[in-house]
Amino acid sequence: MEKVFLIGIAGGSGSGKTTFAKKVLKGINGLDSTLLHMDSYYLNEQPKVNYTSSGKPNFDHPNAFDWDLLRVHLAELKKGNSIKCPIYDFKQSARTEEFERVGPCRVVLFEGIFALYDQAIREMLDIKCFLHVDSDIRFTRRLHRDVKERGRSLESVISQYYDTVRPMYQKYLDPQRQYADFTVGEETDVASLILSARIKEMLNTSTQAQAHEAI
């Protein structure tokens, strides 16, 4: 069986994880690869214990995600199998009843705010990246995205940033940098090319090793 490579890309909300991941995919010319979003694994109902003092759910806490399902799905992809990835509706803050078939493929780019948080998942990853971007830039990107794409009001985005996004980044997200193989800044073009080259090198090495074993 061909080896499957899992690449983890973590970083704060608005750090450009999806954009960076797409640049990497472009760099490997779509070679048998896919992109898995951690956002798809938000719990259908958020734990009440994590609600803010104003009674709002905390989507930036580690417990906001379905870790059990996420671990199972990443393990299946690592084995070379396909998964039925849940589809999350951000306007309704709930999962839909539909699923998206993902895999099987040789390269899986897994991006999310807590992509490097869980030890079991870190052990599955072949490369671990962290996007370290200035807070002002992240906030501005998040503001535009949530208002334009997720039907949020300006006031709600600002309120959520100060209630949960900022404190959770400082407490849980930024410490993930210690687990990263390399950290990427605001300018991602060069970094994406370097990562793409490394992925292609791993694929070639793996293919040559399998060919040698078959002889």
- Provide the β-strand partners of residue 109: 7, 35
Q: Which fold has domain 5-214?
A: Rossmann fold (3.40.50)
pLDDT at 1: 73
Structural element, H or E, at residue 10:
strand 5-11
pLDDT at 139: 87
Domain spans, the chain: 5-214
Axis crossing angle, helix 189-214 with helix 17-27, rounded to the nearest 10: 50
pLDDT at 26: 95
Place of tokens 């806490």: 61
pLDDT at 215: 64
Phi then psi for residue 11, to 5 deg, are: 155, 165
What token pair was written down for 29? 């010319």
Q: What is the full per-residue pLDDT of the chain (215 aa) written as tens digits?
A: 789 999 999 999 999 999 999 999 999 997 899 999 999 999 999 999 999 988 999 999 999 999 999 999 999 999 999 999 999 998 898 999 999 999 999 999 999 999 999 999 999 999 999 999 988 889 888 888 988 888 889 898 888 988 999 999 999 999 999 999 999 998 889 999 999 999 999 999 998 887 777 66
pLDDT at 179: 98
